[in-house]
Structure 1
Amino acid sequence: MTDDPGKPANAAGATGWKTIDRQLGPLHVRRIGAGLHEKKVWLLFDADLVFSGLSLATDGLGLGLSPAVIDGKAPDLTGTLKGLAVGYDSAALTVAGAVESRTPASGFDLDLAGGLVVRTEKFSLEALGSFRHATTGWFSLDVLGVLGAQLGEPPVFVVTHLAGGFGYNSKLRIPSLADVPNFPLLKAVQGGDLGSGTGSGGAAGGDEAGKLLGVLEQLRGDGGWITPSRGSFWAAAGLTFTAFEMITGEAVLALGLGGEVSLTLAGHANASFPSAKDVPAADGVRRYAEVDLDVLVGYRSSTHLFTARAQLTDQSYVLSRDCRLTGGMALDVWTGGPHGGDFVLTVGGYPDGYRVPAHYPAVDRVGVTWSPDSSVAVTGGAYCALTPHAIMAGGEIHIAYHSGSLRAWLDAGVHALVAWAPFHFDAGIRVSVGVQYTAHVLGWDITIGVHLMVGVDVWGPPTGGSAHAEVAGIHITVDFGEGRRAAPAPLDWTSFRHKLLPEKTLFLTPLAGINQPGAAESAGTWHAAAHGIRFSMRSAVPATSATLCGQPVDLKGTPVGLDIRPVGVTQAHCAHAVDITYHGDDGTRGPVSAKAWTVRAVQGQVPAALWGRPDGSGPALVPGHGLGMELTLRTPQLVNATEVPAGVLTHGDDLTAPLPLRP
């Protein structure tokens, strides 16, 4: 419970407090307060009662009396209680609970918070909750909990803590990768508690539940993780685990519903070699590697983005704690919106000089920094990235030695880029070594040294390259194969069709109204239900125009021409035509009118590597192209139907009447 100056739970007037701090047997009076509010005199108490392990604490317990009742009428008494805490503590069991009424925020008329702690020798449980009632009638409810118990069999996989929570008419803020270490549910499973400080084996305290209320205030405060949001819902579950006594981790999965759909997995993992079992801390034997990283995986419908991120923390090293590992990775896939169809997978970022699209994630280079002693320094980095039009990878390392007047160094680097549509590659490697010595002769500094550099670059098609060498300031270059072209030669249509397009370029997909789809697919025939059919047609080649049964389909916003970058063609025309023919049982055939169908054009973005301008200008994804159609057979309508009122229908009970059909 809090010790801040307070007021009656339903009062807004000032209250004066006097600290007593007196023990009267099992009763401990902390302070007494008095105040005047709404024409009543209030007398308030904050006190604790402890007896045989059982404790009871009040916050803002008081009685209000109207001084106007002096005319012999019954006194007008009003009670108030801001908060109440109950606890029991023994060697085998600890239980503590608290509930508190708080000053409601604007737009709310009731704000309650509660916490619960239960701990035995076998398990521990902590929970906290929040209830807020709005002045307009709706309410917001949040509940969080952590269970500490060992589940599973060591050493394969052991769960040590479980956490969960949900919120009704509430919204949970989605963390960024940088926020993952501070995500409250992840911190809960890491520490084994929600903030009471007892989940990892701490001593029991009489104010454990009160501490939980303080944690709740941090979660709901300004800039907090949980906020009331009418129509929203969230749920989360998490665990802490160890695997093979070498890997430890914590993970929390959170689902959010409401204005958007979000699914988030936030986690942290640590792996060391040798394991803690193989190298006990008391042995003083060092570990040779530790990888510690934060992980965030999620999808948000509002941005149409699936993302997976991981970042090494400053606890990661290899060989020695002085040999630090850094860097991260990211996978982003856009399922719709302005970047729909785009994706990027990168470990360590992108090569220098690459024009990174603004919507691609920024990722730190995977690197190593090591100083085994004061004279040697080692640094290095590496990257790999995959996009819809290319894959690129590379790395570099620098080793320097400096002792007195002697310096030596080794630099090495490699890079490679492979692009398609059309296919071409560019790769290179460089190695540079040198040594330098500075001598002091008759007051003069004389520096002598030698430097050697060799490198090779290759490209294609057509395949060619060059070799470079530098010794003592003399440069030597040897070219081989074909020279580097400013742009790859365009493909003819046949090569483009066979190399870059799928073997099947037209896709028909039933969406509704299909009976026995498995049998229909095996027979190559769809069996439509009586209430109608809906199917989609997609093409691997974008369209500039489309028709259904000879009638034009509106492709509003579609470019008038189609660019084909690998072929070097601009403003080409491609038409999608769908014709539907009736096949009668008597063998007759005939066209079906487009009026029987509802058609919706399917448009979207296409990769510029295939359908972009030949000069390489423009965005990586070209918007607005026609991708296909979605067709729906209109619902059959009754023609010339006659309505018969139920009142004109009669029936008889004569069982001797003739049957309508002969037996």
Structure 2
Amino acid sequence: MVVGNFEPPFDELDVLWVSADLTQPELDILNQKAFAGHSPLLYQKNVKAQPDAEKISKPPVLLQSGCHFQVLLHESSDPTLVLDYAFRKSKQSPQDDRDGKLIHLPPATGDSGEPAAVQGDTVVAPLTKTSGPLSVRSISVKATSASRIVITIDGSVTLGPVGLALLGFAVGLDFATVKNPSQLMNAKPDFSLDGMAVVFDRAPVRLAGLFSRTAKQEGAEYRGGIAITVGSWSAIAMGAYEELRTYKSLFAFGVIQGPLVEFGCAEIKGVAGGFGYNSHLTLSDVDHVTNFPLVAMNKGLAEPKGDIMLQLIELTSGPGMQCITPEKDSLWLAAGISIKALQVLDVLAVLALDPSSDPKFGLIAEATAIIPKGVDREKAFVVIELHLIAVVDPGHGLLTVTGQLTPRSYILSPSCSVTSGFCIAYFFEGSGHEGDWVLSIGGYHPGFQVPAHYPPTPPRLGISWVYDNELSIRGEAYFAITPAACMGGGRLDAVFSTGRTKATFSAYTNFLMYFRPFHFQSEIGVSVYASTVIGWRWFSVEIQVEISAMLELHGPPIAVVAHLHFWFLEISVRFGPDSPGVPRLTTSQFLAMIKQAENDEEAARVEDHLFSIQRGEIANDQNLVKKDPVLEEHVVRASQLQLNIQSRFPILDAACNNKPAAIQNFDSIFISPMQIASPVTTSTLKVIVTETDTNNYPAFSCTPIIKKIPSMMWKKYEGDINPSSLGNSTNKTFAMGIMIEPEKSAPSNEGLAAYSVIKFSSESIFHPVPEIKSLETAQMTVFLDSQSSQNDEMTRQRVKQIFGDSQVGVAQQNVLDCWSLFKARYTGGGWQFASPKPSPASKATMPPDINAMLRDRFAQALPVILG
């Protein structure tokens, strides 16, 4: 035998029935009295003490009632519970401690010390055990019915350079025929396998392949992958195909790494790509960039010493796959590039595109700088690792860029960690927050209420350095600016502690400034604390000294408050008036504010309304050089014209040419910056459209333009406004303008039946065109009678009477002669104009003399007609 015998990955399987919930004292008594000399009752020993554990009158339940399936190891003198799966549990939850208190009971601890994870109805426990060529990584148990359980083992077999992993290898046990404990061996086993992975690892070649099938409620999913490494070249590809009830989903990824292209101070190390059909790709947040498939694949190839088979399994079933979900009629594309620049900077950038009906564009990047070059990460002077995500969402009017340093970043030494984060966001039409934007590095002022539509608050820009056991330093800083406010600040703390002596130093500053109305507040402070213990044991005393100073400024009007604290003395000095809060805006100041003007003069030059042609404008060269969209003329198609007129102030009524628009009353309009408590009762937009020549009023239809806008300026004034709340407001729905269009023309009263233009104007290109046969003269239908020549002669005479003998008359007569000849040939009669007359059996052909006559007559007539 090549392989030999395998030892089981576990030492004992127990089936345990518990009739009632058991607590710690009850289990101790049973193990000491009833199970003395036998295997003890094992339970979850990793229950963490609760904060109010002392107040609980009864101890928590450690072994719940019901049937338990337990997996044990005998690696030490005492058995270890690896996994405990309970089914047929009592209706009373074990988290209820019989007194209404909530007790959290985590699953049993696995072999690695980590708790078993509960995934739906499945309990998974980490298990690291190697027996000869067999290695086991985890074991899980799931009850599929009232009498059947399934044990799944995740393991692999290694024979020299060849390895084999069975994915989803499961053993099912059916206890339907088991009536008592003596019949447990009668349980019927069955086996199943989801997939298989194979690896060949012998330098310089490493090769791995994987294929798996997962059954789902709506169908089946097939996943596969392949990875190969030859010398300095590596490639990995993976994909999935899923069959659902009404459609099929597909996606695939691929990465190639190696010395591809080198130019100047940079080198392209790898390229990546992916696509999905009937598949939706969700971009990771900045905290989980490493889980994104293309980034994770690049990381896996960058670690050549790792287990290539485990890397492939992790990629195809890891957390990165959760960002890809089936979605009908959805398509995405992704492409990436890996660059090494200046020999110290590694950059991986992935561009993702969703060209569906709701398009999105995303950029995911990871940059790592290690200085100096060529040293290990642990011995470097500076290690900076940055994750970045940029998203453009035109459908929702959003542009965001977020970045964050990872916890692996440090300067000077690994004990001096660096943290930082930033976010940039701009909100345009469709977001409900048009014109709003934000730039934040390290977060916001502590007193600033961050609007709900802003990106998550980034972490502070700071350092945390534990220099040694006695000295630690921590510093942080931030800066942010929005259309409403600007803020910044920082803090530095140092702690020195040795033996009986302790000293701390703190310094900080914060400022917050609002633009409209102008208001600022700032503070700066410093604090020093020192303590020491003198004496020994009962005869010791601790001496503490603290001194601190803080300066507060606010305005306008400018006022200063100084605080001084020394030991037990505290002094405060005030200069100027108390903070009056936010000043009230005048009407002109408020108008300048909503027009985003710096002063009244600039506000007077800004239009009160916004005009835009949404549809119907005819493009020409003049349109490209127009500077004023209001005063310049526009050439439009009246049938397609759509004109938007928007106000800077919410409106309650609107009309175009005295025809009112149906505006529904949404939210009440208030003017908070002017501190007006009553709502606005009149706000009307009137539009008059007249014809320049006649001064008539053409008929136009008007439709209100409804928008959701931040309520910071339009909410009710409640006596005191927190300045930071100006940027933290929920949206309110208002009518902000009207869209006018020419009224549709009345339908025709001809009563013509509707028909399909496409059907009657299409020609099949897949069928031969039938041959058109020439018609015999005798088969032609004669529409003209024998009086044709007489009628034509009368027509000539009428033409001469109208035009006389002028040149124009001659031209008209020539055209008439031409028509007579054409009529004689092609209308089935009038052959008396042609001589000689063809026999009935001959084919209809044009006599040569008639062709020459037609050519001459047209040559004479056309220059006169056109000239």
Q: Choose which of 271, 277, 290 in structure 2 pairs with 1:168.
A: 277
SS in 2 for 1:626: strand
Aligned partner of residue 562 in structure 2, secondary structure: strand
Name which of 326, 330, 354 aligns with 1:232: 330
Deviations 1:535-563 (A, max 9, x none): 22222222232222222222223334342
Residue-by-residue CA offset, 1:433-492 (whole Å, 9 max, x unaligned): 24333322896334445433222111111112122223343333322233311x222121
- C-alpha spacing 1:536/1:613, structure 2 compared with 1 (3 Å): same
Which residue of structure 1 aligns with residue 343 of structure 2?
245
2:383 is matched with: 290
* Cα distance in 1 for residues equivalent to 2:327 and 2:655: 46
Going from structure 1 to structure 2, the CA distance change for 1:406 and 1:515 (only over 3 Å counts) comes to same
1:419 aligns with 2:514: yes
Contact 2:710–2:730 under 8 Å retained in 1: yes
Task: State the partner residue of 1:50.
Answer: none
> What is residue 235 of structure 2 aligned with on the other side?
125
Cα deviation, residue 306, structure 1? 4.0
Q: Counting strand residues as a fraction of each chain, which structure ranks higher?
A: 1
Per-residue deviation, 1:191: 3.2
Which shifted more, 392-401 or 360-369? Answer: 360-369
The one-character-per-residue Cα deviations of 1:260-316 (angstroms, maximum 9, x if unpaired) are: 5443322222224x4315xx459x9x6443222222232557876543332222211
2: CA distance, partners of 1:405 / 1:307:
51
Question: Hey, what does 1:48 align to over in structure 2?
Answer: none
Q: Determine the C-alpha separation between the residues in 1 that align with 2:250 and 2:536.
A: 82
Supply the distance in 2 between the matched residues of 1:407 and 1:211 (Cα, whole angstroms).
50
- Contact 2:200–2:208 at 8 Å: present in 1 too? no
**Residue correspondence of structure 1 range 157-556 to structure 2 within 5 A:** 157-192=266-301, 214=313, 217-218=316-317, 224-256=322-354, 260-272=358-370, 274-276=371-373, 280=375, 287-299=380-392, 305-333=398-426, 336=430, 343-357=437-451, 360=454, 361-440=456-535, 444-485=539-580, 487-498=581-592, 501-502=595-596, 503=603, 504=606, 505-516=608-619, 519-520=622-623, 521-522=626-627, 524-529=632-637, 531-556=639-664
Structure 1 residues 90 and 620: CA distance shift in structure 2, 3 A:
closer
Does the residue aligned with 2:295 lie in a helix, a strand or coil?
helix
Q: Which amino acid aligns with 2:352?
A: A
What are the residue-to-residue correspondences of 1:8-47 with 2, within 5 Å? none
1:333, distance to aligned residue in structure 2 (A): 4.8
AA aligned to 1:433 is V
Going from structure 1 to structure 2, the CA distance change for 1:549 and 1:404 (only over 3 Å counts) comes to same
The two structures have a TM-score, normalised by structure 1, of 0.72
Q: CA–CA distance in 1 between the matches of 2:314 and 2:566? A: 66
Quick one: higher RCO (CA 8 Å, sep 6+), 1 or 2? 1
Output the amino acid matched with 2:324.
I
Q: State how 1:131-150 maps to structure 2 within 5 Å.
A: 131-134=241-244, 136=246, 138-150=247-259
- 331 and 607 in structure 1: CA distance in 2 versus 1, 3 angstrom threshold: farther
The number of residues matched between the two structures is 563
Counterpart-to-counterpart distance in 2, 1:153 and 1:175: 31
Match for residue 703 of structure 2 among 589, 599, 614: 599
The alpha carbon displacement at 1:188 in A equals 1.2
* Alpha-carbon distance in structure 1 between the residues aligned to 2:265 and 2:691: 63
Counting only pairs closer than 5 Å after superposition, residues 512-661 of structure 1 correspond to structure 2 as: 512-516=615-619, 519-520=622-623, 521-522=626-627, 524-529=632-637, 531-566=639-674, 568=676, 570-572=678-680, 573-584=682-693, 588-594=694-700, 597-609=701-713, 613=717, 615=719, 616=721, 620-634=729-743, 653-654=822-823
SS in 1 for 2:535: strand
Distance 1:244 1:213, change over 3 A: closer
Partner SS, residue 350 of structure 2:
strand
2:789 corresponding residue in structure 1: none
Aligned-partner Cα distance in 2 for 1:249–1:389: 35
Deviates more, 1:358-367 or 1:632-641: 632-641
Q: For 1:535, what is the secondary structure of its paired residue?
A: strand
- Which letter does structure 1 place at the counterpart of 2:640? G
Q: Please say if residues 265 and 298 of structure 1, whose CA atoms lie closer than 8 Å, have aligned partners that are also in contact.
A: yes
How far apart are 1:430 and its partner, in Å?
0.5
**Distance in structure 2 (CA, Å) of the matches to 1:405 and 1:103:** 63
The question of whether the paired residues in 2 share the 8 Å contact of 1:564 and 1:570 is answered with: no
Cα distance in 1 for partners of 2:408, 2:641 equals 59
Distance 2:483 2:552 in 1: 25
SS state of the match for residue 667, structure 2?
coil
Deviation (angstroms), 1:593: 2.9
Structure 2 CA distance for partners of 1:220 and 1:302, relative to 1, 3 Å: farther
Q: Contact 1:565/1:611 (CA < 8 Å) preserved in 2?
A: no
SS in 2 for 1:496: helix
Q: Is the 8 A contact 2:670 2:714 kept in 1?
A: no
CA distance, structure 1, for counterparts of residue 522 and residue 202 of structure 2: 71
Is there any run of 5+ residues in structure 1 with no aligned partner, and where? 1-58, 60-81, 193-198
In our comparison, the structure showing a higher alpha carbon Rg is 2
Amino acid at match of 1:229: E
Alpha-carbon distance, 1:398 to partner: 1.3
Q: Which runs of 5+ in 2 are unaligned?
A: 1-166, 168-193, 597-602, 754-759, 761-782, 785-818, 826-853
Code of the residue aligned with 2:405 in structure 1: it is L
Of stretches 354-363 and 312-321 in structure 1, the one that deviates more from structure 2 is 354-363
Residue type of the alignment partner of 1:311: Q
Shift of residue 509, structure 1, vs aligned partner = 1.4
Is the contact between residue 262 and residue 299 of structure 1 (CA under 8 Å) also seen in structure 2? yes
Q: 1:154 to 1:610 in 2, by over 3 A?
A: farther
Residue 628 of structure 1: CA displacement?
1.8
| Worse overlay, 607-616 or 457-466 | 607-616
The 2-side partners of 1:217 and 1:291 are apart by: 29
Q: CA deviation at 1:412?
A: 0.8
- 2:415 corresponds to which letter in structure 1? D
Q: Which letter maps to 1:163?
A: A
Conservation of the 8 A alpha-carbon contact between 1:189 and 1:239 = no
Can you list the C-alpha shifts for 1:239-279, whole angstroms capped at 9, x where unaligned?
2222222321222222335585443322222224x4315xx
Q: Assess if the C-alpha contact under 8 Å between 1:401 and 1:409 holds in 2.
A: yes
In 2, Cα distance between the equivalents of 1:475 and 1:101?
72
1:114 CA drift (Å):
4.7
